[in-house]
Chain A
């Protein structure tokens, strides 16, 4: 035998151990403790005040697979509690390993808590490391059983980590895909601010519009400042505000702006200056869009 164990290989003798498969499952699916997506997933049902039934299901415990087969169940007796006392019991899957024989086993049992008059605590359990330490015991808490006197008042699920099947995972991902695409779209649609300059040519009118490629899919506004022309304050004369139609009323004749194919164009019929296109004038602009 080599200095590395070839698990999936013929050795001429028995050589594959449970721990080999356990390590592989832990590597593939995670080294934690999970209920797998099959059957009734070890659901709990109160049968009586001294009996809790655990339905069929599959458990992966640090790579070790334990199960209650389909259509089967395990009844867990709950010891009687005294009247007037509160108590928390834990239903756990207990893994054990015999130190002498190395025989491993799992059982679902109830660990009985202390009866108290107020604020009951969960009983202690053993959290062993099977993978690394070869622990002789490991308890996986499945449920907390709450008792008030002789009555079971409720059951709390403690093993909340569910391990979906590959099929379930693929289905969940495909269902989430539109949501992810929307999220990506919104990221791509982040508000962007662009700035630049252009030098006017001195032409005017609808046949000679000033054009500027912005590249926004949806422009919000553009502010143009001429270096020598009269520019009103931004409050009273905003810019080419493309969020709504421009309303007249300013002292400065406003060009007609339109935006198509990522390009803003505008003109003024009477004055190149009012078209922000005075000859030789450098115009600074700032644009917001998505």
Chain B
């Protein structure tokens, strides 16, 4: 099940939907059916939605166009570049080295 931050940021945005396996909801979050992800991610940028929460569960979700347009107006040159080529992924040895480095702090 996914969870969503109940209180939107001042901009009207919300952080990404998150998977949550715990039985108890984290404070400030509501359960969110997968089907609402289509609405949540229907815009670019995403996450500008208004939600209705009943019994800790999202029952309705609509795009907050006003907040979205305001954000776009304030951030006209979004530098997001998803086509940037991926670099080498870390090897298993590098991952272990990094973890050991942390533990040896």
Contact = CB atoms under 8 A, between A and B. Distances in A.
Interface of A: 196-205, 207-213, 215, 220-221, 223, 225-235, 238-239, 241, 243-244, 261-263, 265, 270-273, 277-281, 288
Given A234-B95, A272-B45, A201 B15 contact: yes
A229 B18 contact: no
Nearest to A234: B90
Q: From B17, B85, B98, B105, name the one whose CB has the most chain A CB atoms within 10 angstroms.
A: B98
Q: From B17, B75, B90, name the one whose CB has the most chain A CB atoms within 10 angstroms.
A: B90
Interface residues of B, number: 46
Interface string B40-51: 010011110000
B55 interface: no
Contacts of A231: 86-87, 89
B63 to A, nearest CB: 12
21 contacts: A200-B16, A201-B15, A201-B16, A201-B41, A201-B47, A202-B46, A202-B47, A203-B47, A203-B71, A209-B15, A212-B15, A223-B98, A225-B89, A228-B84, A233-B88, A243-B102, A270-B79, A272-B78, A273-B81, A273-B84, A279-B45
A145 to B, nearest CB: 55
Nearest to B25: A213
Given A201-B15, A201-B16, A281 B75 contact: no
Contacts of A199: 16-17, 37, 41, 46
Interface string B1-24: 001010001110111111110100
Contact of A202 (B22, B29, B44): B44
A185 to B, nearest CB: 20
A138 B27 CA distance: 68
A44 B41 CA distance: 84
A232 B22 CA distance: 32
Contact of A234 (B10, B11, B27, B94): B94
Nearest to B20: A213
A207 B8 CA distance: 10
Given A213-B3, A234-B94, A272-B78, A221 B18 contact: no
B18 to A, nearest CB: 6
A209 B13 CA distance: 10
B86 A228 contact: yes
A203 B11 contact: yes
State the 5 A-B residue pairs at the shortest beta-carbon distance, nearest first: A202-B45, A234-B90, A201-B47, A211-B15, A201-B46
Nearest to A241: B102
B56 interface: no
Given A199-B16, A202-B45, A272-B78, A238 B98 contact: yes
A239 B98 CA distance: 10
Contacts of B44: 202, 279-280
Given A203-B11, A288-B99, 10 more contacts: A201-B16, A209-B9, A228-B86, A230-B85, A231-B86, A232-B87, A265-B15, A279-B45, A280-B46, A280-B82
Contacts of B66: none
B54 interface: no
B79 A215 contact: no
B7 to A, nearest CB: 11
A189 to B, nearest CB: 15
B95 A202 contact: no
B16 A273 contact: no
